[in-house]
Structure 1
Amino acid sequence: MKPYADVIGDPIAQSKSPTIHGFWLGKLGIDAEYRACHVTAEGLADYLTARRADPLWRGCNVTMPHKQAIMPLLGRINPPADAIGAVNTVLPVAGSQLSGTNTDAAGFLEPLRAELAQAHYFRMARILGTGGAARAIIAALAAEGFTLVVAGRDPGKARALLDELAPGGEHHTPPLAHFADPTDFAFDDREGCLDLVINASSLGMIGQPPLPFDWSHAPPRSIAYDIVTAPRDTAFLQAARAAGHRTIDGLAMLIGQAAVAFEHFFGHPAPREHDAELRAILTQ
């Protein structure tokens, strides 16, 4: 009988969230739990009804495929979830109501904060993938002044995402296959610019085919960012380093978004001074 939060999804066994939150609870000596709960689409409303009535429940994280389906079941959608159009964190509020927010955007931007604090002549991000994770990334980078190139198998889906999440910008939607073959394009001087290449898809994950991206499509001094967490060091990141680019792995976003949710759930900042130890545990 102790306070708890959980993570819901279908499937859910692969989630690293219980390990992350359990690690932080242990470091802080907080007598609480964080659980994984398998919830199907058909069981989503019943899950929320049961949790709403439980005084020990502090909220939940939401994974696929529920990030959008859960929104009509909540009493309030808070920023930035309203702009992103997806909820990954649900919190109880007064009067047995539930509110939804999104920590994915903050988690994604966290390892980029030093670069984003600088002034740039131009910012461009090539976002590879149009799935659920891309929503938060598109919204976050549009708010940071990036010109976006969103590439997927279906350019129409990419355009619909941009029209919804980043309207008005001069953004582009080439097919994903455009980046598979080498190019001899001569990039202009990128001094003072910030260029990102982001794998926002599941390609490259264990059990999935690799992401077809040739690094001749990336400007010099680009930053490669892969949201895949298994494996941590993907072929995408390895090829980026071989081409001379800096890299950010998927654990950065995973830990960053979890830290924001942890403080919501348990009222204490996550003990980030232990990130190296946590990363070692997550990659065992």
Structure 2
Amino acid sequence: MLSFATRFGLASAVALTFSSAFAAPITTWNYSVTSVFVPAETTFNAATGQGINNSTKAAGTSEISWGRKNGKVGVDRSALQIKNSPNIGDGKLVTNGASNVANTYTHVNNNNIGTGSISLHSTTILATLKLTADGFDLPAQVAKYAINFYETPNSGACPEYSITKCSDIFVLDGPLSAQFEYKDYLYTVTFASNPDLIELKPSTCALTGAAAGCLGFITQEGMATDVNFNLRIEAQYVPEPASLALLGLGLVGLAAVRRRKQA
């Protein structure tokens, strides 16, 4: 006949098993990611020489451009652009699954903007993430990213990493992950760039006005470089304190069973 301690220990173990079985993470999510430039927080390097009269700047929420007056982006003006915004994926984001494209940032790097042209120095991106699932609605999360930019001269010594002529430098600073808890699970939301951000040398960071250890990209002259930011979500089970106490009682009961058998 089972003693009280034996029955309680086994009952605790069974209760723990059922508790674990019923605790399940959210498996699929609806999401939207909206990113915009902040024109009021966009700064430019002043034009010099003939560029004073021959170049202009333009700062909008989805495109910032600079170069020849009355010119065209990709022909005689350079630009930073945000694409796929807002990006809405209903039921497409799978917990612990593959990443999904959120937004795309594009640098149109033109080497024909004119000598002494005005050029971008820095700007801010506001990215708003909204996650929903059956029975769950996470308040919109807003992340702020600072961008430092350096338009390299196409003569003289070029910065490291340059591929053809003098590649431009694009530095990004801001949070790339966030966490929240819901029903015994810790969820981690991560934004990862493709291509990957690289740590630039201090001298390269300094050219943009960023501190040593900055992360960014080198964009090839005369080309449009797309940088996709991919969204991924992971879940990790986090037992509640009551579950941990129950586990302790169960182990005590099982230990009593072993001692009884040994006796």
Normalising by structure 1, we get a TM-score of 0.24
Q: Whose Rg is larger?
A: 2
Q: Is the strand fraction higher in 1 or 2? A: 2
Which has the larger helix fraction? 1
